[in-house]
Amino acid sequence: MNNKRREFLKIAGLSALAGLGAPAAVNMLVRGPGMAHASSGHGASSEHGGGHGEEKPAGVQHGIVIDVRKFAEDKELARKCIDACHSIHNVPDYGNKKDEIKWIWTEGYEHAFTEHSHYKRNAALHEMPIITMCNHCANPPCVRACPTKATFKSKENGAILMDFHRCIGCRFCMAACPYGARSFNWRSPREKDANGNFKYIKQVNSEFPTRMRGVVEKCNLCAERLAVGLLPACVEACGDTKAMVFGDLNDPNSEISTVLNENFTIQRKPALGTQPSLFYII
């Protein structure tokens, strides 16, 4: 083969390869595989706090409206929610802040809503316990950051889930989450005492896996309970108080849509464009 032909074939082959690969790569980059079903996001920010030209929501996006007033009325309620969640999900309690793992917890108003002004707020507001957990964002920065798709957005209901078996423990998602919703297993939660009992999990729920050390975990919106037709544990713990209303944000006839329509609600850090699926009635 003469040199010219060889050169030509080389260039032709390379350009064909580049031509084949480029559009797919560009597509992946622009939309991202994790983002491919971003269309299941809700149109929340066009209704709640601005944003322009949002994609029309489609599919199911589960969310929760949290009525903070109800939690202020019943001081025990938040504790019930937290205990229900943490016991069902085998969340360990190490009794120190450094190793702490939490899926749902309460914050003071100034910590939950850092971007709001706290100047001259009424004292009662500062005493209100604000239930805090993963926001199951329609546009989740953690999913964008994860290098292995170990954290991903559920196609069924828009919840942000974790694959504990794929997570490499790089903690990029923890840096990416603007809500501090993610915890890391700094040590093994399966550690046992001399009698063979778990040291840090009071009563193991055999229906849900315990984790191994070195992986990230967080609220999963009770994916395992939703799958069998139950409500998320925290919502169920609230009973008939309506302190928490759960449902599909994209269904205009759902209870949660009605509640959102009838009340003034706020989201945490809406300016970041994450489109949280948690709404608060203060």
Partner 1 sequence: MIEKALSGSSLYKGWMLFLLAIMGVGGICYLQQWNYGLGITGMSRDVSWGLYISQFTFLVGVAAGGLMLVLPYYIHHYKDFGRITILGEFMAIAAVAMCLMFILADLGQPMRALNVMLHPTPNSMLFWDMIVLNGYLFLNLICGWGVLHAEYKGVKYANWLKPLIYLSIPWAVSIHTVTAFLYCGLPGRHFWLTAILAPRFLASAFAAGPALLMIVALIMKKTTKFDIGDVAKNKLVTIIGYASLINFFFIGMEFFVAYYSNIPGHKHTLDYLFWGLEGHNNLVPWMRASVLFGLIGIPLLFIGRAKKSDLGIGLACAFLFLCMWIDKGLGLVLGGFVPSPLEYVTEYVPSAVELGITAAVWATGFFILTLLYKIAIEVKLESEA
Helix (H, G, I), strand (E, B) or coil at 132: strand
Closest distance of CB 255 from partner 1, Å = 29
CB 231 within 8 A of CB 222: yes
| Region near partner 1 per CB under 8 A, out of 68-76, 80-88, 227-235, 265-273 | 265-273
C-alpha 64/C-alpha 44 separation (Å) is 12
In terms of CB distance, is 129 or 247 closer to partner 1? 129
Position among 112, 131, 162, 222 found at the interface with partner 1 (CB under 8 A): 112
Check residue 133 for interaction with partner 1 (CB under 8 A): no
CA distances from 66 to 55, 71, 72, 117, 126 (A): 25, 9, 12, 20, 17
> Strand 278-281 relative to strand 62-67: parallel, antiparallel, unpaired?
parallel
Check residue 261 for interaction with partner 1 (CB under 8 A): no
Check residue 199 for interaction with partner 1 (CB under 8 A): no
Check residue 131 for interaction with partner 1 (CB under 8 A): no
Check residue 184 for interaction with partner 1 (CB under 8 A): yes
User: Among 155, 163, 147, 141, which Cα is nearest to 220's?
Assistant: 163
Position among 149, 155, 192, 202 found at the interface with partner 1 (CB under 8 A): 149
Position among 104, 177, 201, 243 found at the interface with partner 1 (CB under 8 A): 177
β-bridge partners, 245: 65
Check residue 213 for interaction with partner 1 (CB under 8 A): yes
- Side-chain half-sphere CA neighbours of 213 within 13 A: 9
In terms of CB distance, is 147 or 229 closer to partner 1? 147
Check residue 147 for interaction with partner 1 (CB under 8 A): yes
CA distances from 130 to 47, 103, 175 (A): 23, 14, 22
β-bridge partners, 266: 280
| Region near partner 1 per CB under 8 A, out of 3-11, 120-128, 161-169, 202-210 | 161-169
Check residue 185 for interaction with partner 1 (CB under 8 A): yes
Which parts of the chain fold into alpha helices (H)?
Answer: 3-31, 44-47, 68-73, 77-88, 109-112, 123-127, 141-145, 172-176, 223-226, 233-237, 255-262
Where in 35-64 is the site for partner 1 (CB under 8 A)? 35
Position among 28, 58, 227, 230 found at the interface with partner 1 (CB under 8 A): 28
Closest distance of CB 188 from partner 1, Å = 6
Check residue 72 for interaction with partner 1 (CB under 8 A): no
Check residue 11 for interaction with partner 1 (CB under 8 A): no
Residue for token pair 């009662």: 124
b (16+ CB within 10 A) / e for 194-206: eeeebebbeeeee
Check residue 170 for interaction with partner 1 (CB under 8 A): yes
CB 216 within 8 A of CB 151: yes
| Footprint of partner 1 (CB under 8 A) | 25, 28-29, 32-35, 97-101, 107, 110-112, 114, 141, 143-150, 166-172, 174-180, 183-188, 212-216, 269, 272-274
